Structure 1
Amino acid sequence: MANNEHLFPQEQFQPILERSMALDGLLPADEICLAFKDIKKGDMEIKTCYGDIYKIVNAMRDYSRLLLLTCDAWELTGFHRALYEYHAQKAREIADKYQAAIGYDYDKALEKCRKKKTKNKDGRDSDIGGEALELLLR
């Protein structure tokens, strides 16, 4: 792991990865149905819950951010940078489409999470995962 530390510095990437985990504590359990048409199979449905869609949104937004950070960390230029930026944009568009459909706002949830984290920093180390579990149990 130490060999790759310069590629993915913990101080830069860990907050992005932990945000989604912290946001999990805000999830309702209502079931929803995703419907789509498959060319070969016809009408298809996936029964899921808001929590799964939240996780998809959070993962896509985090992936988008990681792609952009990687461009800088790896000093990508030209075609490679454009390719990473294109995929980052597409991931964000997908996330935005899903969050709009379920009335979720990633940026607001993230801000709420940041405020809670700041509020809880009263001299002790804040455990983001522990806070998410605590919120889930309430």
Structure 2
Amino acid sequence: MTGREPESQETALEFLRRGRKGFYPSAIRTCEGDLFLICDALEDYADICEQYIERERDKLTAYQVGAIECRIERYRYIAGKYAAAIGYDREKALARCAKRRAAEGREDVGEEALSALVRYGTENGKKNRRKA
């Protein structure tokens, strides 16, 4: 836990770990937000690998392309399994993010407007001082 998440949101990710005498249960304590990040990272990495294949296909052997495609399938499988377990929908999250970024862009007054406001404020301040 990083200290910024409430303890009530902490989750245990349980798995079997291989040891010298067989398998034994183990767990990683984490929060749901960390699992969201893991899902996003796996999906993003799969996208990066697909772009790499498209860009470098003529330089890669068929074996290399196949090996990368197998990894891509595995990344997407793991991300999908975790997302289903925690009820995470990446497409909805991306849509919310795009909507939020669009709203932030509209609220941005820009540097020119801010500098004009400062200029206007200092000019009015000088006029008010002269009257007093």
TM-score (norm 2): 0.65
Cα distance in 2, alignment partners of residues 107 and 77 from structure 1: 33
- The answer to whether structure 1 residue 34 and structure 2 residue 34 are counterparts is no
CA–CA separation in structure 2 for the residues paired with 1:70 and 1:123? 36
Bigger-Rg structure (1/2): 2
Per-residue deviation, 1:122:
3.0
- Once the two structures are superposed, residues 16-50 of structure 1 have per-residue CA deviations (whole angstroms, 9 ceiling, x without a partner) of xxxxxxxxxxxx75100011122316111111111
> What CA distance in whole angstroms lies between the structure 2 residues aligned with 1:74 and 1:108?
31
Q: Does residue 119 in structure 1 map to residue 103 in structure 2?
A: yes
The corresponding residue for 1:65 is 47
Give the 3 Å change call, closer, same or farther, for CA 32–119 of structure 1 in structure 2. same
Unaligned runs of at least 5 residues, structure 1? 1-27, 125-138
Q: 1:34 corresponds to which letter in structure 2?
A: L
Alignment root-mean-square deviation, CA: 2.2
Which residue in 1 is equivalent to 2:114? none
Residue-pair matches, total: 98
Give the % identical residues.
Answer: 32
SS in 1 for 2:30: strand
How high is the TM-score relative to the length of structure 1?
Answer: 0.62
Number of the residue aligned with 1:92: 76
Structure 2 residue runs of 5 or longer lacking an equivalent are 109-132
Question: What SS does the corresponding residue of 2:54 show, helix, strand or coil?
Answer: helix
**SS state of the match for residue 104, structure 1?**
coil
1:117 is displaced (CA, Å) by 2.0
If asked which structure has higher relative contact order (CA below 8 Å, sep 6+), I would say 1
Shift in CA distance, 78/123, structure 1 to aligned 2, threshold 3 Å: farther
